[in-house]
Amino acid sequence: MPLQITILSCNGILAMNNNNSIGIFDSGIGGVSIWKEIHQLLPHEHTIYLADSKHAPYGQKSPEEILELSIKNTELLLEKKCKLIVVACNTATTNAIKHLRANYNIPFIGIEPAIKPAALKSKTKTIGVLATKGTLTSELFHHTSGLYSDNITIIEQVGKGLVELIESGKINSREMDNLLNEYLSPMLEKNIDYLVLGCTHYPFLIDKLTKILPKNITVIDSGKAVATQVKTVLEQQQLLTKNKTHSKNIFYTNTNTTVLSDILDNNCLVSKLDF
Residues of the shown chain interacting with ligand DGL in the complex, contacts defined by CB under 6 A: 26-27, 30, 56-59, 89-91, 132, 135, 163, 199-201
Closest to ligand DGL by CB, 16 vs 166, is 166
Q: 89 catalytic, yes or no?
A: yes
**Given 10, 82, 89, 268, the catalytic residue:** 89
Closest to ligand DGL by CB, 21 vs 222, is 222
Closest to ligand DGL by CB, 129 vs 187, is 129
Q: 268 catalytic, yes or no?
A: no
Provide the minimum distance between the beta carbon of 155 and ligand DGL in the complex, in angstroms, as a whole number.
18
Closest to ligand DGL by CB, 128 vs 239, is 128
Provide the minimum distance between the beta carbon of 16 and ligand DGL in the complex, in angstroms, as a whole number.
27
**Given 10, 82, 199, 268, the catalytic residue:** 199
Closest to ligand DGL by CB, 56 vs 180, is 56
Provide the minimum distance between the beta carbon of 200 and ligand DGL in the complex, in angstroms, as a whole number.
4
Provide the minimum distance between the beta carbon of 50 and ligand DGL in the complex, in angstroms, as a whole number.
12
Provide the minimum distance between the beta carbon of 170 and ligand DGL in the complex, in angstroms, as a whole number.
15
According to the 3-state scheme, what is the secondary structure of the chain?
A: CCCCCCCECCCCCECCCCCCCEEEEECCCCCHHHHHHHHHHCCCCCEEEEECHHHCCHHHCCHHHHHHHHHHHHHHHHHCCCCEEEECCHHHHHHHHHHHHHHCCCCEECCCCCHHHHHHHCCCCEEEEEECHHHHCCHHHHHHHHHHCCCCEEEEEECCCHHHHHHCCCCCCHHHHHHHHHHHHHHHHCCCCEEEEECCCHHHHHHHHHHHCCCCCEEECCHHHHHHHHHHHHHHCCCCCCCCCCCCEEEEECCCCHHHHHHCCCCCEEEECCC
Q: Which residues are catalytic?
A: 89, 199
